Chains A and B, each alone.
Chain A
């Protein structure tokens, strides 16, 4: 029946209709809120249709990487919480969760979202560490994109902590914001048959042939890519998917900026 269902979805897509009535290039309604976690230095919750993701930022100090002694350290982690979907079990992050974390990480890192050079306290000895955790409360698809947007909103929401005698004073926030540069927006395009669609639900992700996540900067430069799915992509596919991703990233950027303005 999965072949049946896929054929059925393809047929509907040819008429431009998805299972939930959306058009191929249509996102579900997005709601972005920041400052939702009192214990985090920065946080955001993003709802896209039924998918809800929380991103939280925790700061600490530590040693820099030896090959970048004057730069702060950042890391993105994710878990597919069993609370968010009947298919998930409690346990260490499986490959799915790891991919979500690493793809979001790559976009933020290569897109230079955080100005890591400004996070140096003592060159070679002490730098700021930015720990980003992205967790779904309800997983109905498109975790990478929604997690990526939540991460950007949470970063914008982040205030630095006080440092006394080279030690972090946990719980004491300053008025200083985390130094940010760019906002790389991840957009995942999925391919079902000959159709390209955005913002897939859980069930659409279940029947995809291939997917391509593209992280896009404000000026249209790409800063990260990830191809997924069992099927291959033609060069024409990649061309079309990137064009669509760039177009969609502009819409999402506008939405994100609007939401952040209100805070």
Chain B
């Protein structure tokens, strides 16, 4: 019984309650559910059809922590056993003493020597429990406290596009503006460079956020960067 009628097109914006397909031929993936013989969207997103599976790519919504994600958090509390960080999610992260540094930290040490309130830190999520307790680590390449620069918030669902295939998009931006840029999976982005260049970086990232699913985006961003910085750029990986 592979009968099914698709009522919407791939890459259509669908909203909760919208009937995507009728019949039993399609299967409900992420962002959809089956009710009787209908597949219905249960969140605002872009429809993706993968064979018989219908799913949606979310376009909006706060970050929900996933194991192994590299994220940027802000220290909001210093605990006995480590630090608590806000990560743009309903669930704060906890950085335990043993994961803060490669060197040993004594239990009675002054923890503010390592991370103080309001410090921003690049970390990796080591575990998310079923109750959504989030453990992170700072031991690893590229994981450290952030100094200077500025922080912007972007839609967490646009992060893959901002980074680009094999990091191609963000590399192009960094080359053009000479800024250091770290994009957290949780939608927090750190940018550091000359003020004018930082601004160009912010504008480029906002452009990607707004036009994330349109074709020719890489060309558009390249054109903007070339105009704004006067540099000639190359696209390393075509999308």
Contact = CB atoms under 8 A, between A and B. Distances in A.
A4 B150 CA distance: 9
A8 B149 contact: yes
Contact of B148 (A7, A17, A19): A7
A7 B195 CA distance: 12
B141 to A, nearest CB: 22
Interface residues of A, number: 12
Contacts, number: 26
Interface string B128-158: 0000000000000000001111110000000
Given A1-B74, A1-B118, A1-B120, A19 B196 contact: no
A15 B195 contact: yes
B148 A8 contact: yes
Contacts of B149: 4, 8
A19 B196 CA distance: 10
A7 B148 CA distance: 8
A4 B195 contact: no
B77 interface: no
A4 B199 contact: no
Interface in A1-40: 1-2, 4-5, 7-8, 11-12, 15, 17, 19, 21
Contacts of B195: 11-12, 15, 17
B150 A8 contact: yes
Most buried by A among B146, B150, B195, B198: B195
Contacts of A7: 148
A5 B150 contact: yes
A19 B150 CA distance: 9
Nearest to B149: A8
Contact of B199 (A5, A8, A21): A21
A5 B199 CA distance: 15
Contacts of A12: 195, 198
B150 A2 contact: no
A214 to B, nearest CB: 28
Contact of B119 (A1, A11, A21): A1
Tell me if A's interface is mostly helix, strand, loop or mixed. Answer: helix
Contacts of B146: 1
A221 B199 CA distance: 38
Contacts of A11: 195
Contacts of A8: 148-150
Nearest to A7: B148
Interface string B64-92: 00000000001000000000000000000
Given A1-B74, A4-B148, A8-B150, A17 B118 contact: no
A4 B198 CA distance: 15
A57 to B, nearest CB: 36
A1 B74 CA distance: 9
Interface in B22-78: 74
Interface in B81-140: 118-120
B192 to A, nearest CB: 8
A2 B118 contact: yes
A137 to B, nearest CB: 20
Nearest to B145: A1
Nearest to B75: A1
B85 to A, nearest CB: 12
Interface of A: 1-2, 4-5, 7-8, 11-12, 15, 17, 19, 21
Given A4-B149, A7-B148, 20 more contacts: A1-B74, A1-B118, A1-B119, A1-B120, A2-B118, A4-B147, A4-B148, A5-B151, A8-B148, A8-B149, A8-B150, A12-B195, A15-B195, A15-B196, A17-B195, A17-B196, A17-B199, A19-B150, A21-B199, A21-B203
10 closest pairs, A vs B, by CB?
Answer: A12-B195, A17-B195, A2-B118, A1-B118, A21-B199, A1-B119, A1-B120, A15-B195, A4-B148, A8-B148
